[in-house]
Amino acid sequence: QEHDEGSSVPAHPGAHDPICKCGDLDVIFNYKASSQKLVVTVLEAKGIPDKDRSGVNTWKVHTVLMPGKKQRGKTNVQRGPIPIFKERITFSKLEPEELSNHAIRFRLYAVHKMIGEKMMGEQLFYLSNISQEGEARVTLVLEPRSNLSSADSQLSLSAVSHSDSASSTQSLSHGGVPELLVGLSYNATTGRLSVEMIKGSHFRNLAINKPPDTYGKLCLLNSVGQEMSRCKTSIRRGQPNPVYKETFIFQVALFQLSEVTLMISIYNRRSMKRKEMIGWISMGQNSSGEEEQSHWQEMKESKGTQVCRWHMLLES
């Protein structure tokens, strides 16, 4: 069990503990090879952001089986500084020899009455860390995965970018899927669509094993696929987990909102003339997947409040 915990929880330098951590989630994994079922019991969360920092005192946990994302589960909402869930979520059709190819992603959400759910932290647990039979109790360290709504968000951002660059070589050898954290908001009165490129994770230089120089390109397309406007971020050099924190504003009338498509592509710049695409997503009329579709829908319903979500990049 100690081995399980050690291999599933990324080590953070002690100095960054208060900032790089969003809390701990206690979980029990119970796999039965005979039935090919994994029962995950979400016990409780501890050390999570207090009400001053998160703005709420109500919490829920979402789980999803990676990489397919077809099997999902979530807990009921619980209150308090140490929410106790004690809820079981079952994942099925997991063959013993396939177990090591999967991971469960846990996300802790703060639940706001007015604006819905806000993702506060997440952690991946690789199923190669559990035995074929019997229970394993694990404490997962949740990484902060969204802007914290307090004055120390800039502080946490600098610590995250510091720890990201420090773990660059570790990230390269880790076979994670490239992901991008995007913030969306739309003001129906002014017709302003605001897109914040927040940060990426597991960006790799495909040709050589060194951290890539990356930038993001955003294109807004009309209903027939013609480009209405485009922009791009500045380059982040030598970072597998780059922090962009750049916001772009597009003018989109309310009646157009369901007809436009936002394309976001991440490029690795290998030289002045050469670049390669790390991956892309699209949102809006032609969304590239369910997560992207629901993020766009959530933005439309959030009445001008920013909605932040992670997206797995598709290969070109």
> Read out DSSP for 190-209?
TTEEEEEEEEEES---SSSS
Identify the pLDDT of residue 207. Answer: 60
Eight-state DSSP code of residue 316: -
Strand partners, 197: 182, 246
Residue 12 is predicted with a pLDDT of 35
Q: Which domain holds residue 274?
A: 179-312
How many structural domains compose the chain?
Answer: 2
Which of residues 91, 117, 142 is at a domain's end? 142
Q: Exposed, middle or buried by CB within 10 Å (0-12, 13-18, 19+), for 196?
A: middle
- pLDDT of the residue at 54: 63
Q: Residue 110: inside a domain, yes or no? A: yes
Task: State how far the alpha carbon of 256 is from the alpha carbons of 78, 87, 253, 261, 263, in Å.
Answer: 39, 42, 5, 10, 16
pLDDT digits (tens, 9 = 90+) for 202-212: 887 666 667 88
> Is there a cis peptide before residue 67, judged by omega within 30 degrees of 0?
yes
Please tell me the predicted confidence (pLDDT) of residue 163: 33
Whether 85 and 189 map to the same domain: the answer is: no
Whole-angstrom distance, CA of residue 269 vs CA of residue 275? 4
Q: Are residues 133 and 240 in the same domain?
A: no
- Is 132 found in the same domain as 70? yes
Distance CA(2)–CA(48), nearest Å, equals 23
136 and 208 share a domain?
no
Q: How far apart are CA 214 and CA 211, in angstroms?
A: 9
pLDDT at 194: 95
| Residue 97 within any structural domain of the chain | yes
- 203 and 306 assigned to the same domain: yes
Is residue 78 within 8 Å of residue 65, measured between CB atoms?
Answer: no
Q: 110 and 228, same structural domain?
A: no
Please name the helix (run of DSSP H) or strand (run of DSSP E) that holds residue 14, with its range, or none: none
Q: Where are the alpha helices (DSSP H) in 174-287?
A: none
CATH of the domain at 34: 2.60.40.150
- Which residue in the block uniquely carries the two structure tokens 């930038």? 215
Same domain, 113 and 206: no
Cα distance between residue 158 and residue 243, in whole Å: 9
- Which residue, of 142, 160, 195, is where some domain finishes? 142
Q: What is the pLDDT along the chain (316 residues), one digit of tens a residue?
A: 333 333 333 333 333 333 446 789 999 999 988 899 999 999 999 988 777 666 678 999 999 998 888 888 999 999 988 999 999 999 999 888 888 888 899 999 888 776 677 788 888 888 888 877 778 899 998 887 643 333 233 323 333 333 333 333 333 333 467 899 999 999 999 999 999 999 998 887 666 667 889 999 999 999 999 999 999 999 999 888 899 999 999 999 999 999 999 999 999 987 777 888 999 999 999 999 888 999 999 999 988 999 999 899 998 6
306 and 213 in one domain?
yes
Which letter, b or e, does each residue of 207-246 get, where b requires 16 or more Cβ atoms within 10 Å of its Cβ? eeeebbbbbbbbbbbeeeeeeeeeeebeebeebbbbbbeb
142, 168, 192 - which closes a domain: 142
Q: What is the pLDDT of residue 221?
A: 95
Strand partners, 309: 182
254 vs 101, 186, 187, 191, 193, CA distance in Å? Answer: 43, 9, 9, 6, 10
CA distance 155 to 227: 37
61 within 8 A of 77, measured Cβ to Cβ: no
**Token code pair at residue 208:** 């050589």
Quote the pLDDT of residue 112: 79
- Are 193 and 305 found together in one domain? yes
Is 158 contained in some domain?
no
pTM summary value: 0.49
Q: Do residues 105 and 121 lie in contact, with contact meaning Cβ atoms separated by under 8 Å?
A: no
Write down the pLDDT at residue 135. 83
> Do 88 and 189 belong to one domain?
no
Residue 172 tokens, joined: 């390269």
Q: Who's near 27: CB < 8 A, 6+ residues apart?
A: 40, 41, 42, 43, 106, 125, 137, 138, 139, 140
